[in-house]
């Protein structure tokens, strides 16, 4: 008599547990991903290295356009994406119209990974902090006069975010923000 009672009590407890949702159930199966995204980098180190490479390319292409007075700003589409691309092109067209030019070369210093989010999809995949030194860079108006403001720091930390472009297997800059003063 005792054993069946115990079994019955145990069964009741199990039923209660199931009803109250304490027991693991099929409901906790993770939802299907919206699109199948395979993270392109296995480790944070790989992600940072790829981001540094992509950023160097971004700085190179940007400088090329600016040194040519803002000519063919659409070239930026190779390295930049989204709204940042659109606003950058608009700005560069104005730069060209006003006859401005840039001189000198900037330095890209050390970079640090802020985050790599391999499971959240290709947008804003990686954000890094990177040091920039633009002490040798000058911007001139059409009369050859420098228009650099006095607030500009020679060296700064940038926060740069990249989207991953799957067809091209490339990281493209989707956002850049001046983060703080830096030293490099």
Binding site for other proteins (CB under 8 A): 27-28, 58-59, 62-63, 66, 70, 83-84, 87-88, 91-92, 95, 102, 106, 114-115, 129, 132, 134, 137, 139, 147-153, 156-159, 175-181
Which residue is it, tokens 């054993």?
3
- What is the torsional sign of CA 62, 68, 69, 71? negative
Q: How far is the CB of 9 from other proteins (least distance, A)?
A: 29
Identity of the residue, 72 or 166, whose beta carbon is nearer to other proteins in the bound complex: 72
Q: How far is the CB of 92 from other proteins (least distance, A)?
A: 6
Q: How far apart are CA 171 and CA 80, in angstroms?
A: 9
Identity of the residue, 47 or 66, whose beta carbon is nearer to other proteins in the bound complex: 66
Q: How far is the CB of 12 from other proteins (least distance, A)?
A: 25
Identity of the residue, 7 or 148, whose beta carbon is nearer to other proteins in the bound complex: 148
Q: How far apart are CA 32 and CA 144, in angstroms?
A: 58
Q: How far is the CB of 49 from other proteins (least distance, A)?
A: 19
Identity of the residue, 39 or 114, whose beta carbon is nearer to other proteins in the bound complex: 114
Q: How far apart are CA 160 and CA 27, in angstroms?
A: 39
Q: How far apart are CA 87 and CA 85, in angstroms?
A: 6
Identity of the residue, 87 or 165, whose beta carbon is nearer to other proteins in the bound complex: 87
Q: How far is the CB of 10 from other proteins (least distance, A)?
A: 27
Cβ 163 vs Cβ 123: under 8 Å? yes
Angle, nearest 10°, between helix axes 44-67 and 82-97?
20
CA-CA distances (angstroms) from residue 3 to 6, 7, 12, 138? 5, 6, 14, 89
């Amino acid at each position: 008599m005792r054993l069946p009672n115990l079994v019955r009590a145990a069964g009741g407890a199990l039923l209660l547990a199931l009803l109250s949702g304490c027991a693991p159930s099929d409901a906790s199966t993770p939802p299907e991903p919206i699109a199948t995204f395979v993270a392109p980098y296995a480790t944070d180190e790989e992600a940072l290295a790829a981001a540094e490479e992509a950023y160097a390319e971004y700085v190179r292409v940007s400088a090329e356009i600016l040194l040519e007075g803002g000519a063919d700003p659409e070239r930026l589409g190779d390295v930049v994406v989204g709204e940042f691309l659109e606003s950058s092109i608009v700005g560069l067209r104005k730069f060209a119209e006003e006859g401005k030019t840039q001189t000198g070369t900037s330095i890209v210093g050390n970079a640090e990974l802020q985050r790599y989010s391999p499971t959240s999809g290709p947008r804003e995949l990686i954000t890094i902090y990177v040091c920039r030194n633009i002490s040798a860079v000058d911007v001139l108006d059409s009369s050859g006069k420098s228009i650099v403001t006095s607030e500009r720091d020679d060296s700064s930390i940038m926060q740069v975010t990249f989207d991953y472009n799957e067809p091209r297997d490339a990281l493209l800059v989707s956002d850049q923000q001046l983060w703080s003063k830096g030293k490099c």
